[in-house]
Amino acid sequence: MMHNKYLQEIISSRPEYVDIFIENSDELAERIYFLMKLRGIDQKRLSQLLGKNESEVSKWLSGTHNFTFKTVAKIESVLKGKLFQVCANNECNSDFESAGVVTLNYKTASFNIFEADCFAIETYEIDDVSEFRKYSTSQNVSLPTEVFTN
Amino acid sequence: MGTRKVTLEIFGEYDNVTFYTVRVDGEKLSETEKLFSNHNGNKKYIEGLQIISKQMERNGKTGCADRHFRREGKINDRTCALPAHLYAEGNKLRLYAIMISPNIVILGNGGIKTTKTYQEDPHLNDCMELLINLDTEIKKKTKQGLIVPEFKTLKGNLAFQI
């Protein structure tokens, strides 16, 4: 790969959120494009079904559109397919994927809270039950009841 | 304005796309360098340039598609804007380009679009006119076999009188 020095300067100063924004937007556009092909709907037809200008749909497919949830919902409804899914609290985080399990240690007891491959290996030493409860509440996870009776 | 000599040079090269830029003979900066150097220090527009650079990387990996660009010029030319729309806060930054193929793109200059059409802005109009004239010359030379697009490279003499 070769970059002009002016381009390189911009790349070096680029914050991570810009990368995430463009990757997500582009993947969303790819997904819309895929569903359009699958359903046999072209740009013109999609714009008619949604009551939008064709130029607006063209923007969406360019991969740099900042969608609102409402627009996403309307597109999903017309194309009969999910465009994206919000992660549940105990679902994989790509940064931690395939790392192992979380273990909470309450005194002598250890409990695996998450399934393997879903979170980083972390061990928490918590001295009393109230701290344990506080942790579980903050993480929005249900601890096994036996934790509290150990 | 009389004819000018311009030369194509590489601005960014990726696995599947080469982004060329245009240098007008005797000028210190190429057309795309002008845009980058003019707006790099401006907080309001730096995000737009960062988005452009990321978009180039994404397209550079996979190859460009028509949908990544917005058609800007006349019916018979290949001029467009990259990316089509920048949704950085209030961003109206435009970078004009010629998409020769999914693997070859020529970047020009651009700027902040405050008018409805580029023709209404003398600077943006100049940027586009240069690309439209260049596209005509590239087509001519390609037809004559003097320029050959090979995958992501334009082979031949990349100097033009426009």
What tens digit of pLDDT does each residue of A50-64 get?
999 998 888 888 777
Summarised one tens digit per residue, pLDDT across range B30-85 is 999 999 998 888 877 888 889 889 989 999 999 998 888 877 877 778 888 865 45
Q: Do B12 and A61 touch (CB under 8 A)?
A: no
Average pLDDT of the segment spanning A130-136:
55
ipTM of the prediction: 0.88
CB A104, CB A126: distance < 8 Å: yes
> Hey, how many other C-beta atoms are within 10 angstroms of the C-beta on B40?
15
**B29 vs chain A: nearest CA distance in angstroms?**
10
Average pLDDT of the segment spanning B119-146:
94
A·B CB contacts under 8 A:
88
Q: Do B84 and A1 touch (CB under 8 A)?
A: no
What confidence category does residue A107 fall into, taking pLDDT thresholds of 50, 70 and 90?
very low
Q: Which of A23, A88, A138 is nearest to B55 (CA)?
A: A23
The answer to whether B153 faces chain A, any CB pair under 8 Å, is: no
Please give the Cα distance from B37 to B51 (Å, whole number).
15
The answer to whether B36 faces chain A, any CB pair under 8 Å, is: yes
The answer to whether B63 faces chain A, any CB pair under 8 Å, is: no
Residue position matching structure tokens 């601890």:
A143
Chain A residues within an 8 Å CB radius of B87: 64-66
Question: Residue B162 corresponds to which tokens in the numbers above?
Answer: 């426009």
Q: Do B12 and A7 touch (CB under 8 A)?
A: yes
Q: Is residue A71 predicted with pLDDT exceeding 50?
A: yes
A50 Cβ contact list (under 8 Å, min separation 6): A57, A74, A75, A78
CB B108, CB B19: distance < 8 Å: no
**B12 vs chain A: nearest CA distance in angstroms?**
4
pTM of the predicted protein model:
0.75
- Under an 8 Å CB criterion, which residues of A touch B? 1-4, 6-7, 9-11, 13-15, 18-19, 21-23, 26, 29, 33, 58-59, 61-66
Question: Residue B104 corresponds to which tokens in the numbers above?
Answer: 């070859």
Q: Is residue A99 predicted with pLDDT exceeding 70?
A: no
Q: Do A63 and B53 touch (CB under 8 A)?
A: no
CB B101, CB B84: distance < 8 Å: no
Question: Residue A49 corresponds to which tokens in the numbers above?
Answer: 């079904």
B33 closest CB neighbour out of A4, A58, A62: A4
A132 Cβ contact list (under 8 Å, min separation 6): A104, A106, A126, A143, A147, A148
What confidence category does residue B127 fall into, taking pLDDT thresholds of 50, 70 and 90?
very high
Q: Where are the alpha helices (DSSP H) in chain B?
A: 31-39, 43-62, 122-143
Specify the pLDDT at position A135. Answer: 55
Residue position matching structure tokens 């845009």:
B35
H or E element in which residue A133 lies: helix A129-139
Q: Do A6 and B51 touch (CB under 8 A)?
A: no
Please give the Cα distance from A150 to A128 (Å, whole number).
11
More confident residue, A76 or B73: A76
Suggest the residue from A9, A25, A62, A71 to mutate for an interface test with chain B (most B CBs closer than 10 A): A62
CB A32, CB A61: distance < 8 Å: yes
Q: Do A4 and B10 touch (CB under 8 A)?
A: yes
Q: Which of A72, A70, A87 is nearest to A27 (CA)?
A: A72
A1 closest CB neighbour out of B13, B21, B51: B13
Q: How far is CA A74 from CA A27, A59, A69, B65, B71, in A?
A: 18, 16, 9, 25, 26
Q: Do B11 and A18 touch (CB under 8 A)?
A: no
**A131 vs chain B: nearest CA distance in angstroms?**
43
Q: Are strands B93-101 and B79-82 parallel, antiparallel or unpaired?
A: antiparallel
B127 Cβ contact list (under 8 Å, min separation 6): B31, B96, B108, B109, B110, B111, B118
Please give the Cα distance from A111 to A101 (Å, whole number).
10
Rg (CA), chain B: 15
